[in-house]
Structures are given as C-alpha cells and as structure tokens.
Amino acid sequence: MLRCALIVALAAPPAAAGQGASPVAWGPLPGQGAPAGEGVKGQAPSDMSPETGSSGHVETDSPVAAGPEPAPAPVEPLGPTGPAPSLVPPPEPGEATLELSGAGQGGQVVVTSPRGKLLGAYAVGPGQTILLRGAPGEYVVRSPDAPHGLVVPVVERTHVQIGPSGLAVVRDEGPTPGPVVRIGRTAAARDGNWRRPVSPILSALVPGLGQMVNREYARGAGFLLGAVSLGAGALGLALTRDRSDAATAGAHGRTFAADVVGAAGLGLLTGGLHLLYMAQVMDAYAGAIGKRSPRPHSRHKVSLELRRMATVGMRAGDPAAQLYADWNVGVLGQVAPRLSVGLTDLGLKFGPGRAALQGGPRLQYRVLERGRVWLSLAAGAIVQGAFASGSPPVVPEGDKQPRTAVVAAVPYGQLDLRLFILDRWSIDIVPRISAPLGAARYYRGDGAIPKQAVTLELGTGVGVYF
C-alpha cells in the first residue's frame, strides 16, 4: 500500500505557480522551431539585432544560470499590508515598456513588429508578468495560432492582458514586478520609425495620405473627403460671385445682403479647410508615434502662432462686401502660470500705391485647461503704419501734398480656443472684436476698414510651444 502511494506521488505533476511567480520562461513556444539566427536560450533573434548584424542579448532581472533552471521561489501575494513590489530596473531614457500579464489561465503570445518581424515568443502563466522594453512605436501582439493580432501603440507604458477571452489593452495601475526583457531598440524601431517623418509629409501633400500609410484607412479617407468637400464648397462659392450683378455698383440692398452672406460663407469654408489641413498633418504624426492622447505642454516658456484673421468689409463697386484676410505671426512668453505676454499680429501688407507694417502687444490669461482643450481671454492692440509707395502724385501748384504716412491703433479683445493634437502643437479658433482708431486699417490689395468701425473677426491658426 505504501509503495503504491509513493508511485502515485512521484507521477503527479508539480503544483502550478501561484500568484506572483517570478521566473517566466521565454523564447520559442512549445512546438515551434527557433527563429532564424537564434542561438542559445536567452538571446534575441537575429532580426532584432542592431544594424551591425550581431545578436543582441536579452537582459532580465533574473539571470538564467547554465544547466537546469532553478525551482521558482514562492512570493507572497501583494496587498495593502503585503510586501513592497520587488525592485525593477527603471527604463532607460527614451525607452518604452510593454507589459504582458496573465489572467485566468494565462496564455502564449508572439510579439512582432508591424511588418511581421519576430521580436519574441512568450508563455505567460496566471498572475505572471513580463516587461518588454524597447523603442516607442507600434507592436503587434497575437496568439501563436492566430493569423491576426492586436496592434498596440507603446509610447511610455502599455499593459496587455492575456486571458481566456483573448488579448486586451487594460489601464496601467502602476509598476508591476516581473522579468524585464529588453528588445533591440535599433531593430525594433526600424519598421515603424520611418513613418514619423514620412506620414506628415505625405499628409501635407495629399490630405489623409499619411493616415493611410499608418494603416488607418478609414481615418485617412475621412480627412480626404472632408478636405475635398470644404475645398470644393469654397471654390464653388468663389466662382459664383458675380462682380457685375447690379446696374449701380453696390447700391442694391439685396445685392449687399447677398454679398455679405457669400463673403461670410467663403470665410467659414476656407477657415474650416485651414483647420482641417493643419489638424490632419499633426494627426498623421500622432498616428506614426502611436500617441492619440496628448498631454498639453502647460509649462512652456515661449509659444509661437501663425494665424489668419478674417472679416467681412464694405467696398466700393460690386461685390459691395468682400472677405478681408490678415495673415500674421506672434510670439508669446509665459511669465507666470497661465499668464502670457508678447508681440503678436506681426505682418506686412501691400496694396495699390501703399505698404502697411503692423504689430502690437497682447496680454493673455488661460482660464480653462481641460484635457487637450485650453480657453484663454486676451486683450491687446495692433499698431499699423501705412506708407505711400511709388512716385508721389502730381498736384497743382499751391495745393498741399497728400499725406504719405498714417498710423492707426486697433485695440481688440478676443477669446482663444486651442485644441491640442500633439503635446506641443495645437489648432486655434479665435473670435475677436476690434475697432481702428486714428486712421483706417488696411489689408492686402484694396481692402480697408474705416476708422472707428467695430469689426467682428474670426481667426484660425496653429500654435507650437517650447
């Protein structure tokens, strides 16, 4: 009887590792051959090696000794009164972490680059964790027998859970102890990094093309369709405006109302196109680096802005009203939390027989910071000097020469709404109320706003923060 009991005890399989078992085997999964170029266990496959061609070693916090593997040491379960997590080496500068953890019965996974290069194959048991560290970018995590996997953007730290229901990206709740596997940073980033400069350039050439290169086909098609629709609407509206639709230029009431509506519609369509174009270029880069949730750089020292301020003004002739656009740049310094001052609305305008140089101070305070949205209140003034260009006009003898230079001050108040697409880049929508004092305010061409005329402007632009 004793002999039978001893035989049964020796034949029984060892007990499963409990929660928090630290040693985790990695390498080829059971039933799979070693990847090409892989030598002994504990080395990375050759397609992970640096560009020199040498194999990179896999570093772990539990070194693998030669010979049979040691038995796993029991680890007490963690809890509010349990032991502190075991120390894990911090990531190197510029290094991202992909955490693989087992839920339920755990499972087996294969990690590859977006183009299918094998980076590692791992067996993750229940309660076990493996930390993969390498270059930020996109990685594909899948089961060994699955033709498709989960595309996981990894910027700083991303947690993927392997369980009976499959793979799932879960919210990271803090550091987790576990073996650390460093994948070759140069080779792992080789597949995805080329998209970082290429995607925004392609989107700048053709809206949505960068998103398609990032394999976000529906997103790219949406940007392309939106840009084409706004562009076609603006072009159609501009072509349908008849410059000789009234016998007396600008005198017909219905003609003036139609001109105002047409000019305002043209301003809204072109402003929307500007915002969409700039946003999709930034979005292409965000997709290439795998970061869709920006963290606005609220502690910036300096911000730069490029904007187009547009308004509808009266003019002589037909159409009796037209769109006036003012492109300008600005520089603001953040002198205290949320408070910025600087020189803005810098620009140079040319018209028939004149040139105008402008710029002025602005004081701006950020009243709302909610996620990727900022809302600011601002007040400032534009100082514009207009100078006659070309030869002075000939006047009869005894008459006074006309003025060749005038100066106008344009005080204004505005709202400043900023939506961040990247940590340091935003698109801006700026409604403004202004009124020229002392002289008319000149725009490019023959556009001008008479002095003391209260004007509603709408600005669209882009901001960058350092």
Give the separation between CA 121 and CA 112, rounded to whole angstroms.
9
The proportion of the chain whose per-residue pLDDT surpasses 70, expressed as a percent, equals 70
Six-digit token string for 375: 């809302």
Q: What does pLDDT average to over the chain?
A: 77
- pLDDT of 401 higher than 70: no
DSSP letter for 307, please: E
The helix (H) or strand (E) run that includes residue 224 is: helix 217-239
- pLDDT of 239 higher than 70: yes
The proportion of the chain whose per-residue pLDDT surpasses 90, expressed as a percent, equals 38
Six-digit token string for 128: 């076990």
Span 194-219, average pLDDT: 92
> Higher pLDDT residue, 91 or 21?
91
- pLDDT of 437 higher than 60: yes
Torsion of CA 297, 301, 306, 307, to 10 degrees: 80
Give the separation between CA 181 and CA 134, rounded to whole angstroms.
9
- pLDDT of 143 higher than 90: no
Give the separation between CA 335 and CA 440, rounded to whole angstroms.
33
The helix (H) or strand (E) run that includes residue 334 is: strand 321-336
In total, the chain counts a number of residues equal to 466
CB 206 within 8 A of CB 280: no
Cis peptide before 319 (omega within 30 of 0): yes
| Lowest pLDDT segment from 252-256, 332-336, 386-390 | 252-256
Residue 241's pLDDT band (boundaries 50, 70, 90)? low
Residue 339's pLDDT band (boundaries 50, 70, 90)? very high
Give the separation between CA 81 and CA 87, rounded to whole angstroms.
17
Span 51-60, average pLDDT: 34
Sign of CA dihedral 31, 35, 41, 42: negative
Determine the pLDDT at residue 391.
Answer: 65
Residue 279's pLDDT band (boundaries 50, 70, 90)? very high
DSSP string for 159-183: EEEEETTEEEEE---S-----EEE-
- pLDDT of 393 higher than 50: yes
Residue 55's pLDDT band (boundaries 50, 70, 90)? very low
This prediction has a pTM of 0.61
Determine the pLDDT at residue 53.
Answer: 31
> Higher pLDDT residue, 404 or 3?
404
Give the separation between CA 49 and CA 182, rounded to whole angstroms.
11
Maximum mean pLDDT: which of 34-38, 70-74, 191-195: 191-195
> Higher pLDDT residue, 336 or 45?
336
Nearest to residue 376, comparing CAs of 324, 437, 326, 305?
305
What is the β-pairing status of strands 455-465 and 129-134? Answer: unpaired
- pLDDT of 57 higher than 50: no
Three-state DSSP at 304 gives strand
pLDDT tens, residue by residue, 344-387: 999 999 888 889 999 999 999 999 999 999 999 999 999 999 98
First to last CA, the chain: 80
